[in-house]
Amino acid sequence: IDACTEKCQGRTTTWDLASMLIKPVQRVLKYPLLINQIHALTPPDHVDFESIASLQKEMLHIAEEINDIKKRKDIVEKIVGPKKKNDSDVRTIRQLRQAVGGSDVTVDILFEALLEKFNLQQRLARDFAKYILAWLVSIKQYFDTQEAYALTLREIYNMVPIHRNNESHSIILVSEFHRSLSQFSKTIGRELEARLKKTVYKGIENFLKLFAGPLQVMKKREKKLLDYDNVRGMKERGDTIDKNMLESAAAYTAINEQLLDELPKFLGLTTQYFDLIVMEFSKVQMFFYSQVKAKILDFYVARIDPTASRDVAGYVASMNICEDYIAAMTRDDGPLARLERVSLIRNVSSLHGKAFYLFYLAAPFYEEKKT
């Protein structure tokens, strides 16, 4: 590098560090000039001549693309800026002209497909916010149902003579369950709300804000589209076209190309962003369900079965739920035996009633016999 710098001193600044560190786009735009000079000084029979010629075409194509993109961006920034004073009046006249008898409206199929995805993502975000709200409502309903279940159990135990004493283990257990559930529902409710506001709701709000900028450009595109269609129709009819309308039609082309170039990238990034929001919500759900599981397990171990394993899946698998249920139902003092005794009592009462009724009907007959 030092040798090249010394040899090129005063001829070029190619090897100058300051020149090498300028903005990348400016540096790329200078490469075609360098390649052109190298190509001009390279003999046609040189082994690299064809490669340099191919590189020359590619660099020229890249430079043209960069210039086109920059031109479109400048036009878009100019259009989406502050409106001119008479812009609304001119727009109203042109819209009326379009409605009265303008040319056919241009339809860009690719843009329409991107617009549909653009609107779909916003709808999904709003629907997701509604789903989260519905989930919170279902959580509240779950705790309300559990509390009502605990109160119902207490009332049932109070109806049974053996459990009417407040010192009864069953009533104490149900009361403890109701109290623990009530406290837990308030605590977990506040924590859930705080977590959702901090991560999920804030993420959805920021997500929807991202669509404001592109939406503004789309609105400008729709307005410029009217002028584009008018210019197209006037060219077909051979009418004279004023400069402002030509500029507006050119602006539509620039905006449309810019949107077709940037909307796919935007939608790809917003899709990733939305996936992160959904992931955060799944973490909140996982936290909630793990807390509920831990709370129920702690209560079960502390109040019902101290020997219960913390391995819930293994503990449940080791339980013979169906067999134990059948054994409890069919034992001598079980529910089926009690139901049978109650049925016998009802049958006896029914027989007594029928006998009394027959005696009542036969009473006059016996009185007549006695007479």
pTM of the predicted structure, to 2 decimals: 0.60
pLDDT at position 322: 79
Using 50, 70 and 90 to split pLDDT, how confident is the model at 60? confident
pLDDT at position 121: 95
Strand, coil or helix: what is 336? helix
Which amino acid belongs to residue 65? E
Residue of 255, 250, 191 lying closest to 221 (CA atoms): 255
Residue with the larger pLDDT of the pair 51 and 325: 51
Burial class (CB in 10 A: 0-12, 13-18, 19+), 318: exposed
Neighbouring C-alpha atoms within 13 Å toward the C-beta of 245: 20
pLDDT at position 80: 59
With a cut of 80, say whether residue 75 has pLDDT above it: no
pLDDT at position 299: 84
Q: What is the pLDDT of residues 321-349, one digit of tens each?
A: 778 778 877 887 776 776 676 555 545 44
CA distance 109 to 115: 10
Q: What is the pLDDT of residues 119-152, one digit of tens each?
A: 999 999 999 999 999 999 999 998 899 888 888 8
Residue with the larger pLDDT of the pair 189 and 66: 189
Residue with the larger pLDDT of the pair 182 and 68: 182
CA distance 196 to 281: 7
With a cut of 70, say whether residue 42 has pLDDT above it: yes
Q: What is the pLDDT of residues 277-287, one digit of tens each?
A: 999 999 999 99
Q: Decide if 128 contacts 278 (C-beta within 8 A).
A: yes
